[in-house]
Amino acid sequence: MSDWIDIEKELPSDNQRVIAFIPDNKAFLPGMELEFEIREVMVLHFRKNFYKGNEEKSKKYGIHFWSGEGNSNHFFNDVTHWKAIPEGPEILD
């Protein structure tokens, strides 16, 4: 996994939008009863100290959180690695 950063070694900045790796992540397909695809790479926002004021959830899920775009939120421990979203291509006129 080149360029991937282990969450045990470094975390993104608070509210940073990143590419996240979630092993065996099941993405349920719209309109398909309980059918899913494995999608291990997705875009998430890192939320530092999200559960700081909730000791029960902090102990159960971890103090941080990953919020998704749409219906794709994840608890902190779901994600194992992340990397910054690259710059888009330079478009020449």
Rounded distance, CA 40 to CA 30, Å? 18
pLDDT at 78: 93
Say whether 12 sits in a helix, a strand or coil: coil
pLDDT single digits (tens) 26-83: 888 888 888 999 989 999 999 999 999 999 999 999 999 999 887 788 899 999 999 9
Rounded distance, CA 74 to CA 70, Å? 12
Q: Is residue 93 part of a domain?
A: no
Q: Is residue 3 part of a domain?
A: no
Domain that holds residue 29: 12-84
Q: What is the DSSP secondary structure assignment for residue 2, as one 8-state letter?
A: T
Q: What is the number of structural domains in the chain? A: 1
pLDDT at 69: 81
3-state SS of 16-63 is CEEEEECCCCEEECCCCCCCEEECCEEEEEEECCCCCCCHHHHHHHCC
Contact 22, 80 (CB under 8 A): yes
Q: Is residue 50 part of a domain?
A: yes
Q: Is residue 5 part of a domain?
A: no
pLDDT at 44: 95
pTM of the model: 0.82
